[in-house]
Amino acid sequence: MTLIECIPNFSEGRRLDVVDKLAAAAASVDGVTVLDQQSDGTHNRCVITFVGDEVAIAEAAFRSIRAASELIDLNSHQGAHPRFGAADVVPFVPLRAEEMPLCVGVARGLAKRVAAELGVPAFLYEDAALVPEHRDLAVIRKGGFEELRDVIATDPARRPDEGAARVHPTAGVVAIGARSPLIAFNVNLDSDDLELAQRIAREIRERDGGMPCVKAIGLLLEDGAVQVSMNLTDYRTTSMADVVAAVGERAAKSGVTIRESEVIGLLPEDALVQIAKEALVATGFRREQVLEARVLDTLLP
């Protein structure tokens, strides 16, 4: 049996009863295991992680998207994080790189079903993209629900890959994709200077000439502090330690320190092994030297 990971992001992080219902929708499918759920009130967003084979994972994702379309109304949604859908992004991630084509097939099949049965238009992104312009999630989500609602019917570049060229009146649209593992990682600064966080984000993100495989935005938190919110699309190229150092160095020039950092959702074990190698200058350290990893490899080959 081939296991696939799915990590949908939903536009709800304050009504925890709703978040529980979204997770329960996924867990209601036989053969699917929910591994993690996290909510953030400032972002007003939650991330749920579950695994299953290609048939079960597609059904679980569909049920969670359906629940989101029934429980979340974007017209009354407010949060710091960009969004254009109740079920905003639904990526499928292979646990082995060679299984990416399987994830692409699952994503494209789910997009057709969501559009047909729920009336929620779907964009396909990353490896599942049907057109090159849709590979980058930031491009298709530009302007959020409100902007897309106004232009989706008239701008050919903003039309969905599946479904009618109009947003669902309450659930918006959904981005469904297949991608390699990434790390959602935030660094919170001991400051209320939003411009500083936004400037640091611009300086470190790849699209503006910064660090490779880094996507970043600056956000204001509910407690008045600011955050550099990031996706590390290849932790082997740029690690969490790399971006902490880069953010800290730039913040220090303005007399600001890092308050804390946070990992959103789950991350690959190898990412932690990489950081241990860097921190300990243990160049020969291997994953096989991690006790739990060795036990699992031995008992569950």
Pairing between strand 183-189 and 87-94?
Answer: unpaired
d(CA 262, CA 221): 13
Which pLDDT does position 177 carry in this prediction? 98
pLDDT at 80 over 90: no
d(CA 33, CA 297): 20
The residue ranking higher by pLDDT, 133 or 105, is: 105
Beta carbons of 217 and 198 less than 8 angstroms apart: yes
Active site residue 81: yes
Which pLDDT does position 1 carry in this prediction? 72
pTM: 0.88
Query: What percent of the chain is modeled with pLDDT above 70?
Result: 99
Domain ranges of the chain: 4-178, 183-267, 268-301
Q: How high does pLDDT run on average in the chain?
A: 95
CA 183, chain centre distance (Å): 8
4-178 folds as: Formiminotransferase-cyclodeaminase; Chain B, domain 1 (3.30.990)
**What pLDDT band is residue 9 in, cutting at 50, 70 and 90?**
very high
Identify the CATH number of the domain defined by range 183-267: 3.30.70.670
Per residue in 105-114, pLDDT (tens digit) is 999 999 999 9
Which of 43, 77, 81, 168 is catalytic? The answer is 81
pLDDT at 14 over 70: yes
Which pLDDT does position 65 carry in this prediction? 98
Can you read off the two tokens belonging to residue 158? 């903003």
Mean pLDDT of 185-203: 97
**What pLDDT band is residue 301 in, cutting at 50, 70 and 90?**
low
